[in-house]
Amino acid sequence: MQRIAIVCVLLFGLLNLIAPAAAGARLVAQVDISAQTMTVSLGEQVVYRWRVSTAGRGYVTPVGTYRPTRLHRMWYSRKYDDAPMPHSIFFRGGYAIHGTGAIRQLGRPASHGCVRLHPRHAAALYALVRQFGRSNTSIVIRR
């Protein structure tokens, strides 16, 4: 019983050290269309860099700075034949960051405008946005 109490006290102390730093940190997902990459930062610290697919020929991925407007663990496109969009983070109307099964296309333009990620990466980003909150998350898309 004493061991459990000691472990609880240690965990509580550790959480108190980590939580204030994380609470003030901003989550930023920056998409570089020309490089077809996403860099995820927490405060000043880069935590991930992933390949993405943005809009292919004839389509547009909107540039700008956005906040997530809604999140869906699984969404099916109403516009493109109910295409699955796992771990969707919508940021402007029907535009979202989401997982894709077309992982061989990552690193080059291929989407209808959304930002596609490897499913594992989409799940990780989705979890971070849920953890830090939509209001503390920025999505920056640039050319």
Q: What is the CATH number for 130?
A: 2.40.440.10
Query: Which residues fall within 8 angstroms of residue 41, CB to CB, at 6 or more apart?
Result: 27, 28, 30, 47
Question: Is 5 inside a domain boundary?
Answer: no
Instruction: List the structure tokens of 40.
Output: 């995820």
Residue 13 predicted with pLDDT over 60: no
Question: Is 116 inside a domain boundary?
Answer: yes
What is the total count of domains within the chain?
1
pTM for the model: 0.83
Residue 5 predicted with pLDDT over 90: no
Question: Is 11 inside a domain boundary?
Answer: no
75-91 tens-digit pLDDT: 999 998 999 999 999 99
Question: Is 8 inside a domain boundary?
Answer: no
Round to whole Å and give the CA distance between 121 and 52: 10
Question: Which residues span the domain enclosing 131?
Answer: 26-142
Q: With b meaning 16 or more CB within 10 Å and e meaning fewer, what string describes 106-131?
A: beebbbbbbbbbbbebbebbbebbee
**Can you give the pLDDT at residue 4?**
45
